[in-house]
Chain A
Amino acid sequence: MAKDVIRQKINDAFLRRALKNFAAAYPVARARAFEGLDFEELRGRISTFKQEGLRNLPELVARFTTSAERAGAAVHLCTTPEEANRTIHGIITSRGADFLVKSKAMTSEEIELNHYLEERGVRCLETDLGEWIIQLAGERPSHMVMPAIHKNREDVAELFSRATGRECPPDIPQLVQVARETLRSGFLAGQVGLSGANVAMADSGAIGIVTNEGNGRLVTTLPRTHIALIGVEKIVPSLKEALDVINILPKNATGQKITSYVSFIKGPTGGDGRELHIVLLDNGRLRLAADPDFSEALKCVKCGACANVCPIYEIVGGHVFGHIYVGGIGLVLTPFFHGFDKAEEILKLCIGCKKCNEVCASRIDIEGLIVDLRDKIRKPAGQKFLFGTLMKNRKLFHATLRAAYLAQKPFQSEGGRIRHLPLILNRETANRSLPPIAERPFRDLALDKSESRVPSPESREKVLFYSGCLADFVYPEMCMDTVASLEALGYEVSFPQKQTCCGIPARYSGEMEVARDLARINTDVLLEPEADYVVTICPTCTMSLRHDFPKLLSADPLWREKAERLAAKTFNFSELAARKSGARGAGLGAGKGERISVTYHDACHLKRGCGVYEEPRRVLTELVGVEIREMADCDKCCGFGGSYSIKYPEISREVLRNKMENIAATGAKTVAVDCPGCKLQIEGGLEAAGTGIAVEHSATLLARRLAES
């Protein structure tokens, strides 16, 4: 993605404010809309029948076609955008028309229908207010449900003034009135109307359309010919499934219980030569439906929720974060609908926070699909050495990190932190100070320690400590604190020296083979010594060991069994510590005098990657004995994302800024985290801003408390 476009969006004050306000308002409205409804159950049902439908998509298409034709519609299955455009143009000319009045259809954007028709002398009029605005502006939608969210009232007033030839003031009710009056004649004059559909039913051949403005009903009623352009994946078996989709759509899209209008249209109504043409768009869908790795993407019901909650979308908007389809699913669908060349850059924009997965109406693993797709795109030069040679050779990799200690020395400030790094970090990271690579990594300190070890009683549960590279080389004291806390809580801890990178950086860069190699190495290293648990202090590592290793190694039954065995005994530090909270009793936590307050930041990969968010809070309140002042959006990404903060420093900085505002608002002087990456990011930001707020790993807070008592 061109850096200047990203910078331009970041500096677009209106866009930023609009997206930020929406990001704040959406979760509240959404929660209210789902009141009294079991979201998980509903989306679970949708996910199941959608996946089932995709398995039999050709059959569903055939059944829908038969039913719709029986009801009097003409059905046209079109393989390519070109074929769909040609078919629609043919229908329009066969009716002797040169004017098309349209209600909202993302499929029309997908095949660039307006462009095709205008070139052939057919005038197109968008009647959805948002779509009309962007049609007048000559732009594309920046959100699937709110296409013109990037336009303010002044922009709209200017566009409307130009379109109507009269002065339109920047007053929203008046602008809406202008649209009503101006577009009215379009509806009445329209010879052919085009709509999309949100769902199509195979048993009856009916289609379902949800709208708020009422233009959908007019477009499908006044013109004597109605064309519905529908992606084949919208077909569901019957009304029952259609109602589930209609139920979830507005709630997930904008937090509305139901839209003003839901229309079910079966066949052409009204007789006297009226026609209904249903153009079913394939454009790669039938092939994608049969793809074992990516078919899941087609479960999408286009609610737009994945964009609504995305921290990166909130910063850059849909013109950057997507192509025609925007948001997380836009990144996934673009390569299949519009080609890998269009997708290459945007696929890198996802920071991997999994927020989208949490709200997806069809329970799609959007983030997982994005990561898997990166494997399919061209890799940048240099990456081959980094991942092919360096990462797979543990000794070389660790030697390089040690060498970095010497290389960074001249850049260290008095406090020991780095304000400027050569080459890899440009001046845009200047808002963040960085901790240096430690003189002695934890793996060396662990060697000293094991020599002085006193044998512990046999009854203790044995724990292998998997530190992760960042903690090992940058925060060795965090590792020491982990060992000290766990030992004080009654575990016996040891550190296998041969452990190496968990492979996530390779996987995120699309180097699946390297990730697989690293998974095998670590699995052997961590299964060899007899131990009850493997403990990590980096949520990304926890997630990798627990979920990615079994997935990466699933092809070979032998390796899969090993990976699953490892996964079953891998825990995050807070989980193991929290187990002792009851046993240790209130003695530890209930400190003397006033409890100090901390605020807690949930790491993306801990909360959503591992489903752990309650245990860290128990560790803090019951074992460390502090009070938690929850911040707004406590589980929203901090903007680190590993190398993301280096690749897209401008975006990372803005995500961090939001986080810091929420932290400051709590008034707490300490932020507790369970992730070395979050610490690096947030601490750097808070320090550069001179806030005096500290960021500590829970293990450090616990070690300090245990040392006191």
Chain B
Amino acid sequence: MVEQFTTAAEAVGAEVKRFPTLNEAVAAIRSRAGGRAVATSALPPPVRSALDGLDCVPAGALHTAEIGISFAQAGIARTGSLLLALSDPAGRSATALPPVHLVILDAATIVADLSALGGTLGALLSSPGSAYLSLITGPSRTADIERVLTIGVHGPKELHILIVEEN
């Protein structure tokens, strides 16, 4: 499944790296983000605190961040897609505004295809209150001028997926 996910994600222009532990993935993010403005509002608190010390931009200035970091709820092997449940607008902005988007994905959450994700999506949508779920597949793209595929219109130009295979 991880193999299939990787192939599909790379086919749509994402970069995929695999890590044996979350710590190693975090370390990779640290070395990549070192010295650059990052947006971490899309991260669950434990992961965010693991990234302490990075140059995190405040919620009001997310558009100035160079890198947005997030944590996926699930992955879809067939299409290389990620599920992000980000009901907080700041979390969404962190994954939509910066030119580079890094996503941590737990290998255990990868499912076969869109319909296999139906249960998860259904549960998230039927719980009371509001919700905002995004399936993200590759970087932002357009073919609106002469049908020439061009990467990076309004969303991130680069999508890096860090798969964590911690048993």
Contact = CB atoms under 8 A, between A and B. Distances in A.
Determine if chain A interacts with chain B.
yes
Contacts of B81: 258
Interface in A460-498: none
Contact of A183 (B131, B140, B144, B154): B154
Contact of A204 (B126, B139, B150): B126
Given A201-B125, A269-B88, A217 B134 contact: yes
B142 A239 contact: no
Contacts of A247: 114-115
A427 interface: no
Interface SS of chain A: helix, strand, loop or mixed? mixed
Contacts of B118: 239-240, 243
Nearest to A203: B126
Contacts of A130: 142, 144
B8 to A, nearest CB: 8
B96 interface: yes
B89 A265 contact: no
A18 B145 contact: no
B126 A274 contact: no
A220 B133 CA distance: 12
Interface in B48-95: 63, 78-79, 81, 87-90, 92-93
A350 interface: no
Nearest to B76: A258
B45 interface: no
B137 interface: yes
Contacts of B92: 217, 221
B67 to A, nearest CB: 16
A212 to B, nearest CB: 5
A153 B146 contact: yes
A21 to B, nearest CB: 7
Contact of B135 (A146, A240, A262): A262
A254 interface: yes
Given A21-B147, A212-B140, A213-B155, A262 B131 contact: no
A212 B156 CA distance: 11
A268 to B, nearest CB: 6
A266 interface: yes
A97 interface: no
A699 interface: no
Given A214-B154, A261-B155, A246 B114 contact: yes
Interface string A591-633: 0000000000000000000000000000000000000000000
A156 interface: yes
A264 B114 contact: no
Contacts of B135: 258, 261-263
Nearest to A152: B146
B136 interface: yes
Interface in A172-221: 172-173, 175-176, 179-180, 183-184, 187-188, 201, 203-204, 206, 212-215, 217-218, 220-221
A72 interface: yes
B114 A258 contact: yes
Given A18-B147, A176-B153, A269-B87, A72 B130 contact: yes
Contacts of A128: 144
B141 interface: yes
Contacts of A265: 131-132
A156 B150 CA distance: 15
Interface string A215-250: 101101110000000000000000110010011000
Contacts of A151: 145
A239 B122 CA distance: 7
Contacts of A217: 92, 96, 134, 155
Nearest to B8: A257
A260 B139 contact: yes
B99 to A, nearest CB: 9
A33 to B, nearest CB: 10
B97 interface: yes
A259 interface: yes
A127 interface: yes
Given A127-B154, A203-B126, A243-B114, A22 B145 contact: no
Contacts of B145: 129, 133, 148, 151, 153, 156, 172, 175-176
A147 B90 CA distance: 31
A577 interface: no
Contact of A146 (B87, B97, B143): B143
Contacts of B155: 213-215, 217-218, 260-261
B46 interface: no
Contacts of A71: 129-131
A201 B97 CA distance: 28
Given A129-B142, A221-B89, A215 B153 contact: yes
B2 to A, nearest CB: 19
A149 interface: yes
A175 B156 CA distance: 17
Nearest to A22: B147
A422 interface: no
Contacts of A184: 63, 154
A71 B131 CA distance: 9
Nearest to A176: B150
B114 A213 contact: no
Contacts of B138: 260
Contacts of A147: 144
Interface string A67-107: 00001100000000000000000000000000000000000
A264 B146 contact: no
Max chain B Cβ within 10 angstroms of own Cβ: one of A156, A217, A220, A276: A217
A269 B142 contact: no
Contact of B89 (A203, A246, A258, A270): A270
Contacts of A212: 140-143, 153
Contacts of A133: 144-145
Interface in B110-124: 114-115, 118, 121-122
B96 A214 contact: yes
Contacts of B142: 129-130, 176, 212-213
B88 A173 contact: no
B144 A269 contact: no
Contacts of A258: 79, 81, 114, 135, 137
A201 B133 CA distance: 14
9 contacts: A172-B146, A180-B153, A183-B154, A213-B140, A217-B92, A222-B89, A243-B114, A263-B135, A264-B133
In the A-B complex, the 6 residue pairs with the smallest Cβ-Cβ separation, listed nearest first, are A214-B155, A267-B130, A130-B144, A214-B140, A213-B153, A129-B144
